[in-house]
Amino acid sequence: DTEVTQTPKHLVMGMTNKKSLKCEQHMGHRAMYWYKQKAKKPPELMFVYSYEKLSINESVPSRFSPECPNSSLLNLHLHALQPEDSALYLCASSQETAGIGSPLHFGNGTRLTVT
C-alpha cells in the first residue's frame, strides 16, 4: 500500500464541470508534487509545493489550480478542462525537494477522463 493517498481513483467530468483531485500524506514530507502522465509516456511535472508554498509551476494552463491547505494535503482544482487533459494524475511527496536523501513517494493516481 502506498503512503500517499489520492482520491478519487477514477473521475469522469464534462468540459463545463468543476472538480477537485485530492492527495494526502502523513509522513511529515515538506515537498509535494503533481504530475500528469499520458499513456505510454513518462510523468510530466506540473507543480511543486515546498513548505506549503508553490515553488514550481511548469507553465500549466490556468484551468488547473493547485492548492496546499496544510503540509499533509494537496489539492488540484479542475475547471473547464479539455478532452486532451484526460490522463493519469499522480501526486508525490518527498522529505525535502527531491534529490539526495529524499526519495519520491507516489500515490496510485487519479485516472481522469474529460468528455
Partner 1 sequence: KNEVEQSPQNLTAQEGEFITINCSYSVGISALHWLQQHPGGGIVSLFMLSSGKKKHGRLIATINIQEKHSSLHITASHPRDSAVYICAVFFTPDTGNQFYFGTGTSLTVIP
Nearer to partner 1, 62 or 100 (CB): 100
- For residue 48, give the 3-state DSSP assignment: strand
Closest of 110, 105, 3, 19 to residue 64, by C-alpha: 19
CA dihedral for 82, 13, 108, 54, sign (positive or negative): positive
> Which one, of 36, 9, 22, lies nearest residue 75 by Cα?
22
Among 21, 32, 48, 74, binds partner 1 (CB under 8 A): 48
Residues between 56 and 75 that touch partner 1 (CB under 8 A) = 56
Contacts (CB under 8 A) with partner 1, residues 93-112: 97-100, 103-109, 111
Q: Is 43 in the site for partner 1 (CB under 8 A)?
A: yes
Question: By CB under 8 A, what part of segment 20-39 binds partner 1?
Answer: 37
Q: Could you give the CA distance from residue 108 to residue 115 in angstroms, rounded to a whole number? A: 22
Least distance CB 16 / partner 1 (angstroms): 26
CB 109 within 8 A of CB 88: yes
Q: Name the site residues for partner 1 (rule: CB under 8 A).
A: 2, 37, 40-43, 45, 48, 55-56, 88, 90, 92, 97-100, 103-109, 111
